[in-house]
A and B are shown apart, each in its own frame.
Chain A
Amino acid sequence: MIATGVLKAEWTKFSSIRATMVLSLAVVAASGFFGWTFANMAAHEYATASAQERLDFLPLDQVMRGMLLVQLLISALGVLVATSEYGSGTLGPSLAAVGRRSRLVIAKAGMTALVALPVSVAGIGLMFVTSQVTLAAQGAPYLMPGDPDALLALLLGPVVFTLLALFGLALGLLLRGTAAAVNVSSTFLLMPVLAPIFPDFLSRLLTTYWPNGAGFRAVTSRSDLPPVLSFGLLVGFVAVMHIAAFTRFARRDA
């Protein structure tokens, strides 16, 4: 389905401008930094906690919260794959070169996934390492990568991030401007983070069913729903966004 030449061209476009490359690095760097920061806070809490609280201490939950911030960067990465063309006016030449519009959208989705996945693996891996090492160094409980909870985060986390990059791409195609797409994406993705300020039932709804909330719940296996369902919710949502974006893109003047 993917024409390899068009995919190669997407990579050339992506790798030949600084913004996208810097953003990719920022995802990894921010992940490491947040892993360390949140682990420091967690370790401090642990040090001053009561014996009962110490028993309830979860070495992964609190320290991987950085994902809720890094998700904004990874989604912006997807946004840029679309909007860097609109911003610089290269969509015309790109379409004139590629022809059939589906070929361009599929190549963009393929390239976004192929970049976002390794970047997310690196980012979440680094977040895990910095956080667990920091916990260990300060005498708090920590996990080894082989622990089932850790494995889930390390394997499924990058997939969730990749899906959020694809969500960004769909928004970029729909809204055609970096600022608009990043604003909408960030607001949307922060809803589950803001959940605690909403009334209880709304807050519960947000963390359980809001697409990225559901995705993160699947990663941390803390969902009221079976993880497969939580995860499926996110996948379904991103698929619907892409169908909408593609339908619009195929019928609109470039």
Chain B
Amino acid sequence: MIQLTALTKRYGDKTAVDDLTLLVRPGVVTGFLGPNGAGKSTTMRMILGLDLPTSGTATINGRAHHELPHPLRTIGSMLDARAAHPRRTAYKHLLYQAQTNAIPATRVDEVLDLVGLTEVAGKPAGSFSMGMTQRLGIAAALLGDPPVLVLDEPVNGLDPEGVRWIRALMRGLAAEGRTVLISSHLMSEMAMTADRLVVIGKGRLIAEGEIGDFTAAGSAVAVRTPESGVFARLLELAGAHVRPGPDDELLVTGMEAADVGRLAAAEGVTLFELSVRHASLEETFMELTRDAAEYGAAR
């Protein structure tokens, strides 16, 4: 479990994370979403004690990171997979981290095996491909068999097979009851991996909930009718929200498709088309973060 309480980080007069209060629960994969510069990495760095909060707190299973006697056994992380000395072998890179937490060297072999790097364990990290580097980062995160995992953009730069592998791994770890927080700026990617979503923009919490909530929030009833002006007014009188869609469509929210059909029949309005549109998560995300992103672009 990760608990953020009024977490705030300012760099000079730039507020990277703004009064963020959040509970990341165990047993599910939580997707941490936001456009570029939203403050995802900064939040994660504060959870791990790398950046010091301007105010507020971040705790892991009830304790601040610096209070953990053996941090790797409580929280595993990958913030930047490239953070390995290019001349140091993969094995030594993992060994030194294991030693800091009195984790036996046999565990290094185990995680190397788990991520499929056993054969290149003796090779310097600088010679690794992007995918191998990413796997080395995951291996480090798993060293302490931690109940909490924090991964910043874990699928960045991976091929489809690597992406599938990480997804399965994350879902498996969460199914074992661990807390898994992974960030991304791609909603579509999170839709496949996460159970819950936390969306931030400009350092602030924008939305939070189950994946299903987000798809439902984005769906609408599409109607095409020759009498669109009249019907739109009738729909609004009945309590629905109407906005124009493409091709003279009306996009109706706040009313079930069946009720839209009944209303049309009762009022004698001719319908050419009546269908349910599920907005993709991507569209929902764009909608949610538009203000934050626009503000960011205008600066």
Contacts and interface: CB of A to CB of B under 8 A. Distances in A.
B101 interface: yes
Contact of B48 (A5, A6, A89, A96): A96
B49 A88 contact: no
Interface residues of B, number: 35
A92 interface: yes
Which applies to chain A's interface (DSSP): helix, strand, loop or mixed? helix
Interface in B87-116: 87-89, 92, 95-97, 99-102
B86 A93 contact: no
A254 B45 CA distance: 9
A230 to B, nearest CB: 38
Interface stretch (A53-61, A98-106, A176-184, A198-206): A98-106
Nearest to A8: B99
B49 A99 contact: yes
Contact of B79 (A6, A9, A92): A92
A95 B49 contact: yes
B88 A96 contact: no
Interface stretch (A13-21, A40-48, A219-227): A13-21
Given A96-B49, A101-B66, A9 B99 contact: yes
A62 interface: no
Given A88-B83, A253-B52, A99 B69 contact: yes
> Taking each of A6, A13, A101, which has the highest tally of chain B beta carbons within 10 Å of its own beta carbon?
A13
Given A12-B92, A16-B96, A88 B68 contact: no
Given A12-B96, A17-B88, A93 B51 contact: no
Interface residues of A, number: 30
B97 A97 contact: yes
B255 interface: no
B264 interface: no
Contact of B84 (A12, A90, A97, A253): A90
A88 B84 contact: yes
A18 B124 CA distance: 12
Contacts of B96: 9-10, 12-13, 16, 94
Contacts of A100: 66
A101 B89 CA distance: 25
Interface in A143-194: none
Contact of A99 (B51, B68, B83): B68
A212 interface: no
Interface of B: 45, 48-52, 65-72, 75, 77, 79-80, 82-89, 92, 95-97, 99-102, 140
